[in-house]
């Protein structure tokens, strides 16, 4: 029998917190088909887990998520993958349980959509963020569904059009994350938030989250298909393919 592929997303529950860990360090936790499929399954599992009241998404390694898997994008296209990322963001937003995102190190492009979809995001103040799509002839289309709902319009314009790196402290000022703390304090800050959220009654958490995210769900449902189609069209363009090929060549 062929060897089973190594799991890229891990799941554990303790103290009413379901911890979902991205662990695809060979490609900087890029949003490959396998990682997205496993992340989707772990989130659904957490939502149904009676032992969990809060969901925590975190990473192993120095990169939270590097965005789309460009090696897949240049070979298999992006239409199905784009719709899957839209669905992933919608799942996080509509889960019955609050989702906390812990960010350390680097997060780029599509990975920022996961951060923005979370209900609470705690970042190391020296973590680095960048909406790099514009540098590759792309646009932050599918993740704009959540990112632009969190960030101020001025911050969204600066980061989306510039594509430059900004810090966790900047991300907090822009509204992208809830709070930025020194990396030495990150785990304590995350544990404190999760413990506080876990004191909520299941029904109270579910209904409060539905109220808080109602506008965001409508935004995803109205714009999701159009943003996925735009993303797929841009990824398939000659300009973007040339830029992605050049980027991958520089990484080798």
Domains of the chain: 9-185 (3.90.226.10)
Mean pLDDT, residues 100-106 taken together: 98
Residue 235, number of CB atoms within 10 A of its CB: 24
* Residues 23, 179: Cα–Cα separation, whole Å: 24
Q: What is the pLDDT of residue 72?
A: 65
User: pLDDT digit string (tens) for 46-94?
Assistant: 999 999 999 999 999 999 999 988 776 554 557 888 999 999 999 999 9
pLDDT at 1 over 50: no
Give the strand pairing for 17-22 and 54-59.
parallel
Confidence of residue 11 (pLDDT cuts 50, 70, 90): very high
- Count helices and strands (H / E) in the chain: 10, 10
Please provide the average confidence, as pLDDT, over all residues in the chain.
93
Number of C-alpha atoms within 13 angstroms, CB side, residue 89? Answer: 34
Q: Minimum mean pLDDT among 13-27, 76-90, 119-133, 211-225: which range?
A: 76-90
Answer for the pair 138, 161: CB distance below 8 angstroms, yes or no: no
Strands of 63-65's sheet, edge to edge?
A: 63-65, 106-108, 128-130, 166-167
Q: What is the pLDDT of residue 240?
A: 85
Q: 161, 163, 92: which is closest to 128 by C-alpha?
A: 163
Which pLDDT belongs to residue 233?
A: 94
- Nearest Cα neighbor of 151 from 133, 190, 177, 128 is 177
36: helix, coil or strand? helix
What's the pLDDT at 99? 98
CA-to-CA distance for 29 and 107, rounded, in angstroms? 9
157-205 tens-digit pLDDT: 999 999 999 999 999 999 999 999 999 999 999 999 999 999 999 999 9
| Per-residue pLDDT, 73 | 57
* Across 89-100, average pLDDT: 98
- Taking the whole predicted model, whether its pTM rises above 0.85 is answered as yes
């Amino acid at each position: 029998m062929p060897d089973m592929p190594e799991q890229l997303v891990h799941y554990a529950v303790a103290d009413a917190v379901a911890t979902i860990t991205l662990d695809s360090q060979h490609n900087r936790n890029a949003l490959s088909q396998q990682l997205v499929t496993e992340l989707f399954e772990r989130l659904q599992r957490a939502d149904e887990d009676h032992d969990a009241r809060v969901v925590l998404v975190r990473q192993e390694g120095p990169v939270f998520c590097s965005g789309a898997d460009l090696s897949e994008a240049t070979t298999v296209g992006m239409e199905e993958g784009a719709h899957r990322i839209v669905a992933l963001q919608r799942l996080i937003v509509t889960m019955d349980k609050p989702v906390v995102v812990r960010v350390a190190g680097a997060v780029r492009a599509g990975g920022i959509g996961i951060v923005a979809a979370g209900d609470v995001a705690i970042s190391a103040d020296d973590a680095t963020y960048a909406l790099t799509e514009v540098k590759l002839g792309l646009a932050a289309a599918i993740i704009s569904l959540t990112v632009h709902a969190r960030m101020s319009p001025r911050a969204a314009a600066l980061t989306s059009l510039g594509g430059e790196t900004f810090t966790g402290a900047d991300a907090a000022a822009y509204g992208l994350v809830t709070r930025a703390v020194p990396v030495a304090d990150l785990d304590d800050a995350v544990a404190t938030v999760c413990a506080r959220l876990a004191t909520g009654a299941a029904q109270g958490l579910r209904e409060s989250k539905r109220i808080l995210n109602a506008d965001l769900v409508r935004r995803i449902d109205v714009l999701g298909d159009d943003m996925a189609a735009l993303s797929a069209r841009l990824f398939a363009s000659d300009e973007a393919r040339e830029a992605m090929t050049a980027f991958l060549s520089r990484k080798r």
